[in-house]
Chain A
Amino acid sequence: MNLEAYDLLPGSSGFAFEFISVGPKGRIEKIVTYTEMETPGFFNLGFGDKDPITKRMDDLSRSGNGDTEKVLASVVQTLLQFTSLNPNAIVHAKGSTKARNRLYQMGISKYLDDVMKNFKVYGFSTSGWEVFKKGIPYEAFMAHRLSFTTPT
């Protein structure tokens, strides 16, 4: 996958990443986290903007910095790094809004052929979970490396 992405700063645990979006609204610090869910081996992908003053995450931010594709590519890079260190991890992602889910959907659809070389991707719609297909409005996503193995 050869997408233009921002430089990533990883956390020492390998479960958190930071990058800086640059655009008309200035420099916006973005944080991506992978947190293990109640089901072992499943990790929730968290994504958001850091408040420049409090340094806490800003739940209501809508940065709109004109660099959507580069931001998406950067999130994909964190997924590549995270799953290369944790090859059996299954990553769950669900946008906090319909708009953010559409964004994830667009990103996966646009690079589907590349994504499918490394990952198996599922989408959740009104019909339940299925292998990701273009053009279906999904509410949530899951992905794991194709090299993923089931522990015995």
Chain B
Amino acid sequence: MKAKKKKKDVLSKGGPSMELDHYLDDPYFKKKLAEANAFIARVGLPKELEHRLNR
């Protein structure tokens, strides 16, 4: 009996996907970004990186 062809577990190769960039505006990631900004506003940055705030 012929073995069933295994479904590929990789994405189709090719160039970068423009469609994927839409996820940068997905409400889920917007919410995560807002939470991250609020977290950093509350706790600050590692001392070694604080100078980046003054750029």
With a cutoff of 8 Å between Cβ atoms, the chain A residues found around residue B13 in the complex are 7
Q: How far is the CA of A37 from the CA of B46 in the complex (A)?
A: 15
Q: Given the known A-B contacts A6-B10, A16-B24, A18-B11, are A92 and B40 also in contact in the complex, defined by CB atoms under 8 Å?
A: yes
| Among B12, B29, B41, B45, contact of A33 (Cβ-Cβ < 8 Å) | B29
Q: How far is the CA of A30 from the CA of B44 in the complex (A)?
A: 30
Q: How many residues of A contact B (CB 8 A)?
A: 47
Q: Given the known A-B contacts A6-B10, A20-B11, A42-B52, are A13 and B24 also in contact in the complex, defined by CB atoms under 8 Å?
A: yes
Structural contact, B26 and A57, CB atoms closer than 8 A = yes
For window 1-55 of B, CB contacts with A under 8 Å fall at 7, 9-13, 15-21, 23-24, 26-29, 31-33, 35-37, 39-41, 43-47, 49, 51-53, 55
What is the interface of chain A, defined by CB distance below 8 A to chain B?
A: 6-20, 22, 27, 31, 33, 35, 37-42, 44, 46, 48, 56-59, 90, 92, 94, 96, 122, 124, 128-130, 140, 142, 144, 150-151
What is the interface of chain B, defined by CB distance below 8 A to chain A?
A: 7, 9-13, 15-21, 23-24, 26-29, 31-33, 35-37, 39-41, 43-47, 49, 51-53, 55
